[in-house]
Structure 1
C-alpha cells in the first residue's frame, strides 16, 4: 500500500511538472507579440531546430480546453519515492495532449539509471553490485547454504525478460577447492540472480533494453498512450 501511494505520488509529480511546462508555453504565447511589431511572420514548427520530424499533425477534433504538443522533453537528475530511486532521467513524449483531466502522451520514451545500490538493497545479504568486463555485472553477497555462511561472488549477463531487469550468473565463486565451488554453485545461484522491476514511472512503460554502466543499470523504457497525470 505504501509503495502504491508513493508510486501514485510520483506519477502525479511528473504530471505536474509537464503540466507546468505546458501552461508556461500557453501563457507566453498569449502574452507576447511577434518580434517585429504587427508584421506577420511564419509560425515556427514546434519541432523546428530539435532534429525531429517537423511534419507532425495535430489530432482531429482538438477541443478548446485542450493543448497539443508535437513533442515534450523532461530531464531530472534524480527521481525518488519511498521505494524507488532513479538517476539521470530523460523522458521524451510525442503527440502529447493536455486536457482538464490530465496529460496523455501518444508515445513516451524514458531513459534512466537504476543505481547499483538500489538493486543491491533489494537483493539483501549485504550485497554489493558493480560493473564487470564485457557488459556484465558482478554480485558479491553473503548467503547461508549447507549450514554455513558463504561470501559469494557471481558475475553474469544482463538482459530483459518479461519487462524485468535480469542478471543471470555465468560464473559463481565461493572460494575454496573447485569441487566445493561447483557443488555449491547450484545451491546459491538463486541468491545471486537478480530480477528487478523498475518502479516509480508512469504505468504502461515497458522495459526494452538495459546496459551496464559504472554507476548502475541504464534502462530504456517505452510505451504508448501513457497517462502522465491523473
Structure 2
C-alpha cells in the first residue's frame, strides 16, 4: 500500500533559533528518501516534525503543513499519528526491563490488544520483517538488552513495524553500528520499502547512494535540492550540493 506525504512551507524553531525555513517537499510512496547535510542543518528536526515529536520539546514551535494521505497531521491526535508514522532512532533503545517479545508487542499492547495468540502472531511477523526472527526465536523471553547492537536496532525496527505504520522514519539508524550490522540494516531498508514509505537521515553519503531512491540535501535549515539519488550524486543542480557531496565542506 502506498502512502503519500507532502510537506508545505514547513518552518520550525527551538526557542528563538529557527531550524527549518520554508521546506516544500513531496515524498514519494514506497521509496527510500535520504536526508543529507552537515550537522545542525535541520535533518533530525525535519523527521521529528513528521511524527510531531518536535513540538513535544519545551520552547519548540512549528508552522506550515504536513499532509499524510490527504489529511493534515496537525488535525490528528499525535498518539494516533505516531501509530502511522514509526520512528527508529540513532542509538538502539530497547526497553531495558522487557524481554525481546515484550519489546516487540509493547506498542500493540498500548493500543489495547490483549489476545495472546494475536500478540504472538504480531511478534513473529514483525521480527521476520526485521530479519531477526531466526536469530531470536528460541530466546524471546531473554532481555532485549542481551542482543548485540545491530540486533537491538533490528528489534527497534520490529517494534516500530508491529503497530503497522505507513511511514517509517529513521534517524541515522546505522551510525552506532559496525559495518556488518550496517549492511544488515541497509538490506532490510531495501526490502521494507515494498510496504513502507521510508525517510532516512544519514551522514554517510555512500549509504545514501546505496539505499535511497531519492535524496534531499539540507543546509542551514533550507532544502537546497531534492531529486533522484543518481542525479543528486552525479549531476547536482546546485553548487552547494556539489560542494557538500565532494567533501569541500561539512
Q: Which has the higher contact order (CA 8 A, sep 6+)?
A: 2
TM-score w.r.t. the length of structure 1 is: 0.27
**Bigger-Rg structure (1/2):** 1
